[in-house]
Structure 1
Amino acid sequence: MHDVLIVGGGLVGSSLAIALDRLGLDVGLVEASPPGGLPPVFDERNLSFAEATVNALTALGVMQKLRTPTGAIQRIHVSRQGDFGRVLLDARQYQREAFGQVVVARDFGEALEARLAELARLVRYRPARFAGLVDDGVDGSFRSVRVIDESGERILRARLLVAADGTRSGVREALGIGTVEHDYGHHLFVTRLRTDRAVDGSAFERLTDAGPTALLPRGDRHYGLIHGVANDEVEAVKALAPDAFLQRVQSVFGWRAGRFIVAGAPSVYPAVRVLADRLVAPRAVLMGNAAQTIHPIGAQGFNLGLRDALTLAELIEVARVAHAGADCGAPDVLDAYVARRREDRERTLTFSDGLARLTSNPAPLLRPLRSLGLFAIGRLPSVQSALVGGALGYRGDVPALCRSARP
């Protein structure tokens, strides 16, 4: 019997396992990848870690395991193709060295794996996959889960089941929790590129009718590229030769970062929002992409998911301090989780979805409103401060680990 069973060994699930280990709990982690392998999510995608995320991952001992340098986001430049107005944010104006750090997903996966390997209490089931729930007909004091591994099928039991198994969560479906989906009408091409200018800590977001084109400053003298392409153009863009792809991105983005020299082969992902109808079920909780998969505009997704994980770990710790041996999956813990996550989740979802819909809408009547909005953000301190707070990762009731890098 585990205290907590986490299904999904990606960014959020692994981070939760590390956070719970500090509490001395019996934790199981169901992972699809075999020992020595990394989940597909740990690819060449560029992860933008807000300051709050960097603090928490440092306190958990993960950032120290990175073997390659990160890229500091010292300035943020936002503009929209065809509109006047722009937003320029400088971390020094807010007494910060940087708003956050850019980390390559593959490098982060390796750092998480190195940290997980140090956890003596964690039980890892890998390669294994979730196969369904079991109705034990008992008093509801635990959840029973069927998993399939190389030895066949087995039954695992836990006081609390955590679904961290991604956008198409099998656990969420088995719990009978529905979703609301929205297709933004474009795909995202993700790779890295170099320009004829040195990377200087500036992050750029160029908004267009077909979605954002963003450059994130990496630590390897490259930029991480995210390029939005309308759904009906995806196959044609996939077929472009490397030089033609660079020319396309340059024409959309402009020259503010210099001339684009070379880009890697891009990976392609649909821009789709998937929101769970609810976050909890009896002795079960959803987090990360299983709870909400959001548009990457503004780089909010993983930062939000990590705060999900850290909030749950913090609430379990509080319960155990108040009552020795407290039940991790008790209704009061889950109710507190929903309440604590409400403001951060709602504000982040509203920001991400609103920005994605407004900036990609080609309606001519919206152009002056968008331009006025960019102008206001660039000129009004109160509006700018709210944007900066989100960029730093401080929305709502933030977990304590996000506010300090100390263990």
Structure 2
Amino acid sequence: MPVADPSSPTPAGTGAGIPLHDVLIVGGGLVGASLAIALDRIGVDVGMVEATAAGTLPAVFDERNLSFAEATVHALTALGVMQELRAATGAIERIHVSRRGDFGRSVLDAARYGRREFGRVVVARDFGEALEARLSALTRLTRYRPARFVSLEGGDGDARAVRVEQGGAERVLRARLLVAADGTRSGVRDALGIGTQEHDYGQSLFVTRLRSTRAPDGTAYERLTAHGPTALLPRGDRHYGLIHGVAREQADAVASLDEAAFLTRVQDAFGWRAGRFVACGARNVYPAIRVVAREVADSRAVLVGNAAQTLHPIGAQGFNLGLRDALTLAELIAYARQDGDNDCGSDALLSAYVRRRREDRDRTLAFSDGLARLTANDAPLLRPLRSLGLFAADRMPSLQAALVGGAMGYRGDVPALCRGTNQDGQP
């Protein structure tokens, strides 16, 4: 696998010693790495600018618990990533949703829809190791690491020019398509002049693993409160993955609690339907902030994953949506190459990308934000309406089917790999 060296200015490409890639991905996290793997399998020359050194995983690959929708599992299996997971994953066979203080609850059961499960729970660290195993086997990927994006340079109509810093020196790279996969506070997005819409939910989310007297049975729980969700995800190691939302002004006090006091707090918020909570791991805390780019494409540039949209984690939509961004882009590039067009950054291709992503993106953003705002609003008049909604979701087949489709990752024009087929429609 090529790894760029500042002393060797031409690891790939041409043009006065400046490397030229088909695609240059800035960001080697969950979505950026997945995109590199998807592009390599169709023969695209890819460069990837990564902030971390070889042998070190990006900070995003921590103890967070990722909920992979069925569509995501299909795609990552086709990309050979799921096969590289060394730790056991947990099946999500049921989804149980309720809200503290409201009547009613909704239970979605995969068996009711002829499925064994809705998806899998994977620890982010384990996923990072699996991605790294696949990346290390790629033959067309040039990895610039550790390196950071500095600025956009004046380019020509055929390529974007990007300045990066690596090993204390700066260099310029060129690409027919620049992909911003550098997270919520994307430097590439800012350099492109693409603005954002932001909303701070005023919540802090504590993430850890949790052990209960009752082992996970395939049920994922979402217990909603005015201060955010308390979610339990069934991991593959007999623990639950916990997300516990608190009001931002309480975050410091909650962070200072010892293990016993923290468990008592979570038990009070969640209840006893999953047993008595007896232990938890180290706790990480993250702000719940929605950041949505006003545009997802520019001339020879595109945003994917959190650079395009960072969602509230309620409903576990974020990574699944970002992966569909990446796979749609890879699929369109594959179609263009089949038609003899090797320009990965053409206006026509990027226009098609924007069109194909619109429905999925808009519907998922609306679902995530609406659910977060509605469930956090403690106005007395909303309680009977929410209770009625939970009751309806548990009793109306058409409404349940729509919720199930979204939970499994099937919204809008879904990439072929997410459906369990390749670009030609074959399994």
TM-score above 0.5, yes or no: yes
Q: Which position in structure 2 is the counterpart of 1:114?
A: 133
What displacement does 1:325 show? 4.1
How many correspondences in the alignment? Answer: 404
Take 2:256 and 2:216, find their aligned partners in 1: how far apart are those partners?
29
SS in 2 for 1:359: helix
Take 1:52 and 1:309, find their aligned partners in 2: how far apart are those partners?
13
Whether 1:33 and 2:52 are equivalent positions in the alignment is yes
Code of the residue aligned with 1:156 in structure 2: it is L
Percent of aligned pairs with the same amino acid: 73
Take 2:141 and 2:342, find their aligned partners in 1: how far apart are those partners?
19
Take 2:390 and 2:341, find their aligned partners in 1: how far apart are those partners?
52
Q: Structure 2: give runs of 5+ residues left out of the alignment.
A: 1-19
Q: Which position in structure 1 is the counterpart of 2:347?
A: 331
Contact 1:50 1:393 in 2 (8 A): yes
Code of the residue aligned with 2:354 in structure 1: it is V
Take 2:94 and 2:324, find their aligned partners in 1: how far apart are those partners?
24
Whether 1:238 and 2:255 are equivalent positions in the alignment is yes
Contact 1:85 1:372 in 2 (8 A): yes
TM-score (norm 1): 0.98
What displacement does 1:326 show? 2.5
Code of the residue aligned with 2:362 in structure 1: it is E
Take 1:347 and 1:142, find their aligned partners in 2: how far apart are those partners?
33
Take 1:71 and 1:308, find their aligned partners in 2: how far apart are those partners?
25
Whether 1:289 and 2:325 are equivalent positions in the alignment is no
Give CA deviations for 1:9-41 in whole Å, capped at 9, x if unaligned: 000000000000011111000000100000000
Whether 1:150 and 2:167 are equivalent positions in the alignment is yes
Q: Which position in structure 2 is the counterpart of 1:401?
A: 417
Take 2:291 and 2:109, find their aligned partners in 1: how far apart are those partners?
32
Take 1:403 and 1:52, find their aligned partners in 2: how far apart are those partners?
6
Q: Which position in structure 2 is the counterpart of 1:312?
A: 329
SS in 1 for 2:381: helix
What displacement does 1:233 show? 0.5
Whether 1:369 and 2:365 are equivalent positions in the alignment is no
Take 2:387 and 2:341, find their aligned partners in 1: how far apart are those partners?
56
Take 1:92 and 1:367, find their aligned partners in 2: how far apart are those partners?
30
Correspondent of 1:64 among 53, 62, 83 = 83
Whether 1:75 and 2:91 are equivalent positions in the alignment is no
Correspondent of 1:229 among 219, 224, 246 = 246
Contact 1:58 1:405 in 2 (8 A): no
The 5 Å alignment of 1:3-402 reads 3-136=22-155, 138=156, 140-322=157-339, 324-402=340-418
Take 1:77 and 1:208, find their aligned partners in 2: how far apart are those partners?
14
Q: Which position in structure 1 is the counterpart of 2:5?
A: none
TM-score (norm 2): 0.94
Code of the residue aligned with 2:50 in structure 1: it is E
Code of the residue aligned with 1:84 in structure 2: it is F
Give CA deviations for 1:338-383 in whole Å, capped at 9, x if unaligned: 0000000011001000000000001111101100110110111010
Code of the residue aligned with 1:53 in structure 2: it is T
Take 1:334 and 1:96, find their aligned partners in 2: how far apart are those partners?
35
SS in 2 for 1:364: coil
Give CA deviations for 1:37-93 in whole Å, capped at 9, x if unaligned: 000000000000000000000000000000001000001100000000100111100
Segments ≥4 residues shifted beyond 2 Å: none
The 3 A distance-change label for structure 1 pair 48 and 276 is same
Code of the residue aligned with 1:279 in structure 2: it is V
Give CA deviations for 1:263-316 in whole Å, capped at 9, x if unaligned: 112100000000001000100000100000000000000000000000000001
Give CA deviations for 1:383-405 in whole Å, capped at 9, x if unaligned: 00000000110000000000117
RMSD: 0.9
What displacement does 1:320 show? 1.0
Contact 1:54 1:405 in 2 (8 A): no
What displacement does 1:151 show? 4.9
Q: Structure 1: give runs of 5+ residues left out of the alignment.
A: none
Q: Which position in structure 1 is the counterpart of 2:17?
A: none
SS in 2 for 1:132: strand
What displacement does 1:201 show? 0.6
Take 1:22 and 1:336, find their aligned partners in 2: how far apart are those partners?
21
SS in 2 for 1:350: helix
SS in 1 for 2:345: coil
